[in-house]
Amino acid sequence: MTSLNSKKILLGITGGIAAYKSAELVRRLSGQGAEVRVVMTEAAQKFITPLTMQALSGNPVSAELLDPAAEAGMGHIELAKWADLILIAPATASFMSKLAVGDASDLLMTLCLATVAPIVIAPAMNQAMWSNVATQANLSTLKNRNVAVLGPASGGQACGDVGFGRMLEPEDIVDGLSSLWAPGALSGKKVVITAGPTREAIDPVRYISNHSSGKMGYALAQAAVEAGASVVLVSGPVSLEVDPNVRLVSVVSALQMHEQAVAEAAGADMFIGAAAVADFRPVDVAAEKIKKGSSDSMSISMVKNPDIIASVAALVSRPFTVGFAAETQNVTQYAKDKLARKGLDMIIANDVSNARIGFNSDSNAVTVIDAQQSQNFDERSKQQLARDLVAYIAQVMARCS
């Protein structure tokens, strides 16, 4: 399995002669297991046809910002959310200039501004245009904004000039993208992750739960697989697909999750408690559906559930233990208190009061805290955040071992 397997890559093609290489690029990306969608500028369509790119990618090509059919469902925003990464190849001098100033005058630029996914550009232009002070200033701006740059290469150009400005060959671009998701940081390690909510039964038809979608935990499982780990995902009830390389253990209640998580963690190298586990459960579960009757109120006696993450941290032979602190106020302080109180190696704190990055959202922003330091990860897709978190946790774990 390659590091590009199952990645959702949005390929933007701008108007340069190097656009002919984009066809081979799509073929190679698809061959690595990536799902590719193509967006073309008006100028790009002068060099290569949308029909060609559609045939190679297996998906419709997008070109118009105000496409009535697509925009009925806010198509450009959906594309921006869909992508794990946006790759612009070729990226012309004009495109780089627009991206540097935030010009949203066409579909491709709008996607770049609307996404939280990483952006990678493969510049392609005349050697004099590449060395021009304006282009270099734009390049510096983009790099400062964490836009990754692949190339350009030096060599003969279509205009007859020789110098830097050639777009990298498709195989080199694919290698560059693969290095962004380089596997191996957790090679040979067993990682156990909990995800999703738990459901605490009241009677056969009612239960107490929460709004957790499980997206962050499932993304972490995917990222750990990509990093070479053997992954066990202990999941509450969610409606998400799991990577076939992940061993899924499905549970419903907090007691079930506690039993399975502790059993799996006993032989693990890393444990990440991403599940939103119910703190309490009803003392008694009715055997039959409770009837409403004539009363205007109902009381349910509750008992505390066992603390999964603390139980794992208390194991004699314990894994590197990472907890989550989903808070609505005093996020950092509450997370630090939880880190110390439960004896964790690391805690990931996020503000679930922010609807944009809280439960059920597709993006997140967190602060990772351990005994020595803290590290902020600003808003990005949960898939990308998961990869960044797994890489960071693996680095800290290796330093502590």
Out of 127, 160, 180, a domain closes at 180
- Whole-number pLDDT of residue 237: 97
pLDDT at 327: 80
3-state secondary structure at position 138: helix
Answer yes or no: 159 catalytic: yes
Mean pLDDT over the full length of the chain: 89
User: Tokens for 67?
Assistant: 């496409």
Higher pLDDT, 7 or 253: 253
Whole-angstrom distance, CA of residue 198 vs CA of residue 56: 43
Q: Among 117, 146, 180, give the residue marking a domain's end.
A: 180
Looking at the domain assignment, is residue 287 inside a domain? yes
Long-range contacts of 341-344 (CB under 8 A, 24+ apart): 342/307, 342/309, 342/310, 342/313, 343/310, 343/313, 343/314, 344/309, 344/313
Q: Are residue 48 and residue 145 in the same domain, yes or no?
A: yes
Q: What's the rounded mean pLDDT across residues 111-115?
A: 92
Same structural domain, 137 and 159: yes
Assigned domain for 1 exists: no
Last residue of a domain, one of 180, 214, 230: 180
Nearest Cα residue to 322 out of 349, 303, 284:
349
> Helical H runs in 197-292?
215-226, 254-265
pLDDT tens string 170-195: 998 998 888 676 657 898 999 999 99
Among candidate residues 159, 162, 263, 400, the one labeled active-site is 159
Residue 374 lies in a domain: yes
Strand partners, 9: 36, 85
Instruction: Write down the pLDDT at residue 72.
Output: 45
Does pLDDT of 351 surpass 60?
A: yes
144 with 255, same domain: the answer is: no
Tens-digit pLDDT profile for residues 237-265? 999 888 878 999 999 999 999 999 999 99
pTM score above 0.75 = no
Are 134 and 236 part of one and the same domain?
Answer: no
| Same domain (yes/no): 105, 219 | no
In angstroms, the CA 221 to CA 61 distance is 31
Residues 163 and 216 in one domain: no
Asked whether residue 185 is assigned to any structural domain, the reply reads no
* CATH number of the domain encompassing residue 288: 3.40.50.10300
User: Under 8 Å CB-to-CB from 95, ≥6 apart: which residues?
Assistant: 14, 41, 88, 108, 109, 121
Structural domain includes residue 2: no
The pLDDT of residue 73 is above 50: no
Note whether 217 and 173 are same-domain residues: no
Q: Do 321 and 256 sit in the same domain of this protein?
A: yes
**What pLDDT was estimated at residue 41?**
95
Structure tokens at 60: 């419709």
- Alpha-carbon separation of residue 285 from 210, 251, 290 (angstroms): 18, 18, 10
State the DSSP code for 163. E
Q: What is the CATH number of the domain that holds 58?
A: 3.40.50.1950
Domain total of the chain = 2
Tens digits of per-residue pLDDT, 278-333? 999 999 999 999 988 878 888 999 999 999 999 999 999 999 999 998 887 888 89
pLDDT at 75 over 60: no
Q: Mean per-residue pLDDT for 139-166?
A: 83
Same domain, 251 and 339: yes
**Shared domain check, 174 and 72:** yes
Residue among 264, 177, 240 at smallest CA distance from 382: 240
pLDDT band at 383 (very low <50, low <70, confident <90, very high): confident
3-state secondary structure of 320: strand
pLDDT at 262: 98
What φ, ψ does residue 109 adopt, rounded to 5°?
Answer: -65, -40
Q: Give the length of the chain.
A: 401
Domain coverage including residue 253: 190-400
Residue 295 forms part of a structural domain: yes
> Residues 107-117: what's their mean pLDDT?
91
Instruction: Using pLDDT thresholds of 50, 70 and 90, give the confidence band for residue 76.
Output: low
pLDDT of residue 68: 57
Q: Is the pLDDT of residue 74 over 60?
A: no
Residue at 352 is within a domain: yes
Q: Which of 30-39, 86-95, 152-161, 254-263 has the lowest mean pLDDT?
A: 152-161
Is residue 273 assigned to a domain?
A: yes
DSSP 8-state symbol, 5: T
Claim to verify: residue 176 and residue 202 sit in the same structural domain: no
CA-to-CA distance for 130 and 151, rounded, in angstroms?
11
The predicted pLDDT at position 78 comes to 82
Q: Is the pLDDT of residue 64 over 90?
A: no
Do 282 and 370 belong to one domain?
yes
Max CA separation in the chain (angstroms):
89
